[in-house]
Amino acid sequence: MNPSTLQRAIPFALILACAPVHAQQKSAADPDPGAVTVTATRNPVEKSYRKILRGMDLFEEQKRTLAPGSALRFRLLPRQPGTNMDGITVQIVADTFALPVTVDADRTFTLERSQEALDENAAVMPNRKASSMTWRAEIRTPGLPPGTRRLGDLRLECRVGLEAGLVSNSLPVLGRIADLIAGMIGYCDLDDTQYLFFSERPLFGVTLVAGGRREALSIDKLYAGASYDTNLKSDLPYCDCQVLVDRTYFLPLADRTWPDDTLVEYEYMDDRNVAAPR
């Protein structure tokens, strides 16, 4: 990789920052007749239960300041074209047992706390192949106007997502760099943080609103930075935004002139009958 390519790729690594989590392998046969037999997809998506619990703990610690009244869930997202997102099942899989996780119709779920799963270094596993899908923390304050989110909720989403190790990147050359960035305390409070958020539908624009102040995000804050990242197309297979680029955006998380109660307003392509960029 030449220096100019690396220079372009490092910001992309910041977006994706987290090498894949490899939980310990589970035995296919257990001599204990009372043990749970786990039927899993070969080479499944899996994430660390311990890390996710650390993210849940961080949410409880910081929600009073950033997102009072909010709730934390996890949302399933496709990574590859053609991934079937219907009928997904999720389990907490440990050495000696498996706990089913209820996935709601909107493809979100919560995780129960289990000391046994923590002790056995369990993995959280959907029945989909590795790199075909991923999931993110989703923090929402109820009662907001339709088509809006709250900036404080999204600030906390970034922190919880990185603490829980939920941002997936498999680019071998930059994996080590990305992993270091993901582990940085306070990364979400740095200027120009490049943490990808996902909207419900393909975006036309995003506007921040605080009192009488309104400011639309510039085009370079939309579509995974496609307007300036000339290497984006070749990087996409390694990004958890691969099939959702038209829903992605960055936010000024560190800019405290935008208070936590700032509304993030979304305008969607289908509201204007415009085809999403590819």
What's the confidence (pLDDT) of residue 243? 80
What's the confidence (pLDDT) of residue 44? 72
> What pTM was computed for the model?
0.79
DSSP calls for 31-42: S-TTSPPP---S
Helix, strand, coil percent values for the chain (each to nearest 5): 30, 20, 50
Structure-token match 């007749």, residue found: 33
- pLDDT (tens digit per residue) in 251-266: 999 999 999 999 999 9
Asked whether the CA dihedral 78, 135, 10, 258 is positive or negative, the reply is positive
Q: What percent of the chain has pLDDT over 90?
A: 55
- Which helix (H) or strand (E) segment holds residue 49: the answer is helix 49-66
